[in-house]
Structures are given as C-alpha cells and as structure tokens.
C-alpha cells in the first residue's frame, strides 16, 4: 500500500524571516497541504502567499471571516498575493502561534489556473476561510509565505505535505 500523505519539507525559524519559502517542489503529487504555525515579529499581521516567485498582480482571493462580533466578506482582485488571514502578532500572549492550513489542489497541472483553500484560526483576532486563485497555468514549484512587515518570528513553523491520489 503506497503512502499517500507525505511530508516534503518542514522548517522552524531560528531567526526573523520575511519570506518563508518552499522551493523545488516535486511535481509528482496530486495536491499539496501546507500547515503553518505563525507569529509575526511585530504588531502587523499583514501577509500573503505567492507561487513560483511571481510578484505580479496575478492573484485574487475571497475572504469570509468573523472577528468575534460580526461576519464579513471581502475580496482582493489583481493582487500581489493571496491573503492568509490574520496571524498572531508580537503583542499577543506568548508563546502563542496561529494555525493556518492551506490546501492547494492539482498544483502540478499545466492547463488550469491554480486554486487554494485557506483556513486561519486566530482566537485573539479573527477566524478566516479564504479561497485564493493564481491566474497561471504553470506548475507550482515554489511557495512563498510573505510577511509584509519585518517578518515571521523565531519559532514559527511550516510543513509542506504532498498528497497522492493512489
């Protein structure tokens, strides 16, 4: 019986890092799952993720979220990356990180644009369910998780899994 859910790479930050990158992702899996436990090194949680170091406005996302009082939906079109929601920040209780789980379907195909489902659970600020899109037919071989401030804090972790259909 083959393994169908395999860890491809994992990292625990030992220094503040702005761009957390997985590169040389093999094209031999069907889907990818990225599990993040993040904490920003500053009070800014603004972050997004990109593929293949593409920094053009080829991304969009739709965000459904609850902040503890209201539910709202927002979207970003022609964006520089896909929103990952609100992560833990430096002023939160420590050592506290927020889980983000990203499912990337059919990532290696060269025919369709690439869709992702993102869940970020932050018990101090916001709970988010997000759909993201990269308007490219290129196979995904690199993922960048980018903090738009000074970076992700020491101790933040990230693991990339590959899923095989059989």
Partner 1 sequence: MAYTYSKIATYNVGSGGISSVSFLNIPQTYTDLIIKASPDSTYTAGSYGDGLGLSYNNDKTTTNYNNRYFYGYDSSSGSGTQNANTVALFPDDAATMTNNVFGNIEIYIPRYTSNNIKSSSIDFASEVNSATNWVTGFYSSRWNNTAPITSITLSPTAGFVFKQYSTFHLYGVKAEV
* 52 contacts partner 1 (rule: CB under 8 A): no
* 126 contacts partner 1 (rule: CB under 8 A): yes
Q: Which of 19, 67, 77, 112 binds partner 1 (CB under 8 A)?
A: 67
Q: Which of 91, 96, 112, 154 binds partner 1 (CB under 8 A)?
A: 96
* 65 contacts partner 1 (rule: CB under 8 A): yes
Our CB check for partner 1 shows the closer of 11 and 115 to be 11
Query: DSSP string of 5-67?
Result: EEEEEEEE-SS-BSEEEE-S--S-SSEEEEEEEEBBSSS---EEEEETT--SS-EEEEEEEE-
Contact 125, 45 (CB under 8 A): yes
Contact 10, 157 (CB under 8 A): yes
Residues near partner 1, by CB under 8 A: 3-10, 35, 37, 64-71, 93-99, 101, 119-129, 155, 157, 159, 161
């Amino acid at each position: 019986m083959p393994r169908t859910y395999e860890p491809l790479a994992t990292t625990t930050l030992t220094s503040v890092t702005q761009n957390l990158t997985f590169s040389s992702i093999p094209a031999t899996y069907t889907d990818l799952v990225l599990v993040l436990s993040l904490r920003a090194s500053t009070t800014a949680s603004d972050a997004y993720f990109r593929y293949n170091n593409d920094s053009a406005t080829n991304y969009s996302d739709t965000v459904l979220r609850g902040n503890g009082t209201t539910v709202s939906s927002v979207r970003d079109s022609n964006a520089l990356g896909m929103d990952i929601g609100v992560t833990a920040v430096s002023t939160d209780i420590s050592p506290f990180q927020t889980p983000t789980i990203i499912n990337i379907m059919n990532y290696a195909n060269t025919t369709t644009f690439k869709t992702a489902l993102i869940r970020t659970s932050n018990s101090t600020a916001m709970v988010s369910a997000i759909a993201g899109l990269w308007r490219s037919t290129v196979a995904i071989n690199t993922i960048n998780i980018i903090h738009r401030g000074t970076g992700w804090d020491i101790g933040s972790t990230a693991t990339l899994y590959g899923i095989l259909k059989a």
